[in-house]
Amino acid sequence: MSSIKVADITKVYRKKPTPALNHLTLEIGNGMFGLLGKNGAGKSTLMKILTTLEQPTSGRAEICGIPLTQPGAIRNIIGYLPQNFAFYPNMKVTAALSYLATLANVPVREQRRRIEQLLDEVNLTAKANVKIQQLSGGMLQRLGIAQALINNPQLLIVDEPTAGLDPEERIRFRNLLTDFASSRTVLLSTHIVSDVEATTNRIGILEHGQLLFTGTTNELIDAATGHVFQALIPLEAAAQFKQTHQISEQVAQADQIRFRFIAGSSTRSPIAPTLEEAYLFLQAEQEGVLP
């Protein structure tokens, strides 16, 4: 059974002429699903609808078989880490989690054990009695995951979770999500391609509230195969070359620059696309800006 079924959802915000989501249909199974898209593509809007914080203008969705029209039942089975997770800075970590556990209807007699277990899972046991304002960005994100898992959800929804994390924290955070996704579902949104590269096997690309692509990362790369090229250009011609090509990478080499670029076609031999290039290709193709 699909964990998430989205059927023809449109969301129009008041005073906005273009819809944030435009007849979106999508099915997500178990495991980790990465929702990729530029800022403003509609990722947060979709997540807010799935968490029942926003209502769609039209269309339907189900989470583990429960329709959006039963928000209480949905909130019982999902955990949500919003984009800018913040909590009372003066509260201590354990006190904050107790407070949230109470809000999430975790019975008082179970709270202590549950909080200890969560702090262990997100590797914050040593910070249990520290004030939230003393946590680093990465620790705060991990506390965010702990609070999202407090009701032992079937589905975890995380919105742009790695923004502002250093590389080590980013990897630690990814591993945490991967562990969770081994038995349940994680929906992760990001505009950073490398966030989905290592961990998710299925991705969806959202643009202007519509799904540009859904499939595996390998399928995305296949879709761009034959559209990424390489050229060695003398320094004096480099500026002109950059103006007329969609560059994905450039590396200076003595008196030349090695460019990788994306194009509909080229007289040069194609090279294997990276996931990032495949993503750029798909977007450029959609916008009709490919040379």
Residues in the site for ligand ADP, rule: CB under 6 A? 13, 16, 20, 37, 39-45
Phi then psi for residue 285, to 5 deg, are -65, -45
Decide whether 40 or 270 has the Cβ nearer to ligand ADP.
40
What minimum distance in Å lies between the beta carbon of 42 and ligand ADP? Answer: 4
What is the spatial order of strands in the sheet that 185-190 belongs to? 78-81, 155-159, 185-190, 31-36, 202-207, 210-216
Contact 60, 68 (CB under 8 A): yes
Minimum Å gap between C-beta 50 and ligand ADP is 12
Cβ-based nearer residue to ligand ADP, 22 or 151: 22
| Smallest separation (angstroms) from ligand ADP to the CB of 47 | 8
Q: Which is nearer to ligand ADP, 45 or 246 (CB)?
A: 45
Provide the terminal-to-terminal Cα distance of the chain, rounded to the nearest Å: 43
Query: Helical H runs in the chain?
Result: 43-50, 71-77, 93-103, 108-121, 137-148, 167-181, 193-197, 217-224, 235-244, 275-287
Q: Do 264 and 251 meet the contact criterion of CB atoms below 8 Å apart? A: no
Closer residue to ligand ADP (CB): 13 or 88: 13
Nearer residue to ligand ADP within complex by CB, 44 or 51: 44
- State the minimum distance, in angstroms, from the CB of residue 269 to ligand ADP: 36
d(Cα 221, Cα 219) in Å, to the nearest integer?
5
* Least separation in angstroms between CB 220 and ligand ADP: 18
When computed from its CA atoms, the radius of gyration of the chain, rounded to whole angstroms, is 22
Distance from C-alpha of 123 to C-alpha of 113, rounded to nearest angstrom: 15
Least CB distance to ligand ADP at residue 241 (A): 32
Task: Return d(Cα 202, Cα 168) in angstroms, integer.
Answer: 24
Q: Which is nearer to ligand ADP, 41 or 115 (CB)?
A: 41
Shortest separation between residue 196's beta carbon and ligand ADP, angstroms: 14
Q: Which is nearer to ligand ADP, 39 or 267 (CB)?
A: 39
Complex with ligand ADP: residue 11 or 75, whichever CB lies closer:
11
The bridge status of strand 185-190 relative to strand 210-216 is unpaired
What is the closest distance, in whole angstroms, from the C-beta atom of residue 200 to ligand ADP in the complex? 17
On the 0-12 / 13-18 / 19+ scale of CB atoms within 10 A, 99 is: middle
Give residue 141's Cα distance to chain centre: 14
Reading phi first (left if > 0) and then psi (alpha if -120 to 50, else beta), residue 8 is in: left
